[in-house]
């Protein structure tokens, strides 16, 4: 460094620290912000290096050349800072090609003006060589565009600093250390530039900003090594929180303090058939289902029955207030938890417990009692008949229990939809084979649609019950099906004694008591199956005798499989509401 001025030596120290930090940042690609931080550091090193060339040049022409070359570094520093700050803090969605092109407009204009020699004096109106105690440098008389680009630089610097400053009070210590180092590394050259523009320095005309880059280099090196700036960045955390909200299985809404929808996740849009683009900004009571009930105190709120894409389902609602750092309310998050599966599982456990505790024990006691009679008299036909009937009853309960466990196991993948016509034909054929004496018929044409596979078990249970509990001689069963607005109504009628009103109430209520319970598992399987697909089951009396059970379930496509498997959500919701009234 023989022959270099002390100022040039100091500037070369800034070049070394800046280059070291730039190499570390470049090696961390493709971590969030690594490329743009490298660009910022390259700009600092470029500016500082050619300032040394300017200081060491001896003529006005040479100094002017190196002064003009420095502008490339000057204009890319604020751009690199802004884009780095956005990516580093997890706001990479703003770093679009359009934004990048936009922020480079003013720097490119500046470089073009410099490249053509600035004949209009927009950046530098006049220049001269000034000899001072710290060296010989170029003193310039600035033009109007100089102040424009300076203001633009400060503006980008401010916008980039806002998200960085938000991390200073972060709960995570590494992020606090990173943000503090970044702020120091950026504030030092900014302060130097402000002092230069305001003429507050003792050496008039000398821009000390490149000298401050030595502080920046040390700060960035500290952030990269000690606080793992790019290897432990907050960007994934912010993105992860966004993903958790967006991909949350439960529908969620964000409501502002004025009662308007601020955001909603995709699950809310899909479940309740909401257009996200038009919903944001609308009053919450016009978008959020049953918002007046949701806003009630949680202690006073029971599960809400709401129609969605899967039919009418029970929802438990969680409402959480959002506050800022000063504990001031800024909004609320409303999350709907579909508890239909939970309630269904609890209900099934209660019923199965009753079956094993009551029905199976009753049949076992009968077998035990009549077995003693058979032991005393092996020719007792009545005792033998009772034992066989009870054993058959236990076997039937066992099969139905197994069916219920397999069918409604949440870990079992749902089978594909089935054609309703084939389902009805198979059910009728199986019923006729099991009960040859029964009259089984299908009324009208069966729609050529597909329905959830669980409808097969529902139809089999309805038909089996219609014959088993029918005292007519011979028993008769009629099946019919209609399709409308994305829903299927499958009806099974019989000429038996009918279903007791108390048993209907038990099914409607969904719970059993020791004194009020169903007579078996068949109707419970029908109810659970329809609930599973968001459908509904209704009971009517048949004239002059018997019962009509009608099951409503959503269509899952046409019979040849070309239609949309999910049908039309809006039509389903409207149909479900009609069924559930």
Sign of CA dihedral 514, 517, 522, 526: negative
The pairing of strands 476-484 and 439-443 is parallel
SS (H, E, C) 275-319: CHHHHCCCEHHHHCCCHHHHCCCHHHCCCEEEEECCEEEEEEEEE
- For residue 224, the model assigns a pLDDT of 83
Confidence class for position 577, pLDDT limits 50, 70, 90: very low
Distances in whole angstroms, Cα of residue 451 to Cα of each of 60, 316, 456, 563, 568: 87, 28, 9, 12, 14
264 versus 396: the higher-pLDDT residue is 264
Residue with tokens 């994934």: 236
Q: Which range, 175-189, 352-366, 375-389, 434-448, is most confident? A: 434-448
Angle at 327 (CA atoms; ends 325, 331), nearest 5 degrees: 95
Q: Which range among 66-75, 268-277, 301-310, 329-338 shows the weakest confidence by mean pLDDT?
A: 301-310
Burial 490-516 (b: 16+ CB within 10 A, else e): bbbbbbbebbeeebbebbeebebeeee
What are the tens digits of pLDDT across the range 412-438?
Answer: 677 788 899 999 999 999 999 988 999
Q: What is the DSSP string of 513-537?
A: -SSS--SSSHHHHHHHHHHHTT-EE
Q: Give me the mean pLDDT over the 282-294 stretch.
A: 86
Sign of CA dihedral 97, 103, 105, 107: negative
Confidence class for position 328, pLDDT limits 50, 70, 90: confident
- For residue 379, the model assigns a pLDDT of 83
Q: pLDDT at residue 329 above 80?
A: yes
26 versus 302: the higher-pLDDT residue is 26
Name the pTM for this structure: 0.53
Of 184, 64, 82, residue with least CA distance to 129: 64
Domains and CATH numbers, the chain: 6-236 (1.20.1070.10), 247-338 (3.30.450.20), 340-413 (1.10.287), 415-581 (3.30.565.10)
Q: Give me the mean pLDDT over the 37-49 stretch.
A: 92
CB-CB contact of 252 with 245 (8 Å): yes
Residue with tokens 């050349």: 65
Confidence class for position 355, pLDDT limits 50, 70, 90: low
Q: Which range among 6-20, 164-178, 422-436, 437-451 shows the weakest confidence by mean pLDDT?
A: 164-178
Q: What is the DSSP string of 200-255?
A: -SSSTT---HHHHHHHHHHHHHHHHHTS-TTTT-SHHHHHHHHHHHHT-SS-EEEE
CB-CB contact of 421 with 457 (8 Å): no
What are the tens digits of pLDDT across the range 225-264?
Answer: 777 777 777 767 767 777 778 778 889 999 988 888 888 8
Residue with tokens 């002059």: 544
Distances in whole angstroms, Cα of residue 471 to Cα of each of 495, 531, 546, 572: 8, 30, 10, 38
- For residue 568, the model assigns a pLDDT of 39
107 versus 202: the higher-pLDDT residue is 107
Q: Give me the mean pLDDT over the 186-207 stretch.
A: 74
Confidence class for position 145, pLDDT limits 50, 70, 90: very high
With 0-12 / 13-18 / 19 or more C-beta atoms within 10 angstroms meaning exposed / middle / buried, residue 380 is middle
Q: pLDDT at residue 563 above 70?
A: no
CB-CB contact of 63 with 138 (8 Å): yes
Q: What is the mean pLDDT of the chain?
A: 81
What are the tens digits of pLDDT across the range 89-104?
Answer: 888 888 899 999 999 9
What are the tens digits of pLDDT across the range 479-509?
Answer: 999 988 889 999 999 998 888 776 777 666 6
The C-alpha atoms of residue 253 and residue 310 are separated, in whole angstroms, by: 19
- Grouping H, G, I as helix, E, B as strand and the rest as coil, residue 486 is coil
């Amino acid at each position: 460094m023989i022959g270099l001025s002390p100022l040039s030596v100091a500037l070369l120290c800034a070049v070394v620290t800046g280059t070291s930090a730039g190499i570390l940042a470049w090696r961390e690609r493709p971590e969030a912000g690594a490329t743009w931080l490298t660009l910022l550091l390259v700009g600092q090193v470029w500016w500082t290096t050619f300032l040394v060339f300017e200081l060491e040049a001896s003529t006005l022409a040479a100094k002017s050349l190196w002064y003009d070359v420095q502008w490339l570094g000057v204009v890319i520093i604020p751009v690199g800072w802004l884009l780095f700050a956005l990516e580093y803090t997890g706001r990479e969605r703003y770093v679009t090609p359009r934004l990048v092109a936009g922020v480079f407009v003013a720097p490119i204009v500046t470089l073009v003006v410099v490249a053509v020699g600035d004949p209009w004096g927009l950046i530098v109106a006049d220049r001269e060589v000034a000899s001072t105690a710290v060296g010989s440098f170029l003193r310039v008389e600035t033009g109007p565009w100089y102040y424009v680009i300076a203001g633009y630089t400060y503006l980008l610097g401010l916008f980039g600093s806002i998200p960085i400053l938000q991390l200073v009070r972060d709960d995570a210590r590494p992020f606090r250390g990173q943000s503090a180092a970044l702020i120091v590394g950026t504030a030092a050259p900014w302060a130097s530039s402000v002092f230069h523009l305001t003429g507050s320095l003792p050496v008039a005309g000398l821009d000390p900003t490149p000298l401050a880059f030595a502080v920046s280099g040390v700060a960035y090196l500290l952030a990269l090594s000690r606080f793992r700036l790019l290897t432990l960045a907050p960007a994934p955390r912010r993105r992860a929180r966004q993903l958790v909200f967006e991909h949350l299985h439960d529908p969620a809404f964000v409501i502002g303090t004025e009662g308007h929808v601020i955001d909603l996740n995709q699950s809310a849009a899909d479940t309740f058939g909401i257009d996200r683009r038009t919903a944001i900004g609308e009053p919450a009571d016009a978008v959020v289902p049953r918002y007046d009930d949701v806003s009630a105190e949680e202690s006073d709120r029971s599960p809400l029955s709401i129609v969605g894409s899967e039919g009418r389902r029970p929802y438990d609602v969680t409402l959480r207030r959002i506050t800022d750092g000063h504990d001031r309310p800024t909004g609320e998050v409303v999350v709907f938890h579909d508890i239909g599966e939970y309630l269904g599982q609890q209900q099934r456990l209660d019923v199965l417990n009753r079956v094993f505790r009551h029905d199976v024990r009753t049949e076992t006691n009968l077998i035990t009692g009549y077995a003693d009679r058979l032991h005393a008299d092996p020719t007792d036909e009545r005792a033998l008949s009772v034992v066989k009937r009870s054993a058959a009853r236990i076997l039937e309960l066992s099969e139905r229990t197994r069916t219920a466990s397999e069918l409604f196991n949440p870990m079992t993948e749902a089978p594909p939809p089935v054609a309703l016509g084939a389902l009805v034909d198979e059910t009728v054929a199986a019923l006729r084979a099991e009960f040859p004496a029964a009259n089984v018929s299908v009324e009208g044409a069966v729609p050529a649609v597909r329905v959830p596979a669980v409808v097969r078990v529902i139809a089999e249970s309805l038909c089996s019950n219609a014959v088993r509990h029918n005292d007519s001689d011979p028993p008769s069963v009629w099946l019919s099906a209609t399709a409308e607005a994305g829903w299927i109504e499958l009806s099974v009628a019989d000429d038996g004694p009918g279903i007791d009103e108390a048993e209907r109430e038990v099914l409607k209520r969904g719970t059993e008591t020791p004194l009020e319970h169903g007579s078996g598992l068949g109707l419970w399987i029908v109810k659970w199956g329809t609930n599973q697909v968001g459908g509904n089951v209704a009971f009517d009396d048949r004239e002059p005798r018997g019962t009509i059970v009608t099951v409503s379930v959503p269509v899952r496509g046409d019979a040849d499989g070309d239609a949309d498997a999910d049908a039309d959500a809006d039509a389903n919701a409207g149909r479900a509401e009609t069924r559930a009234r």
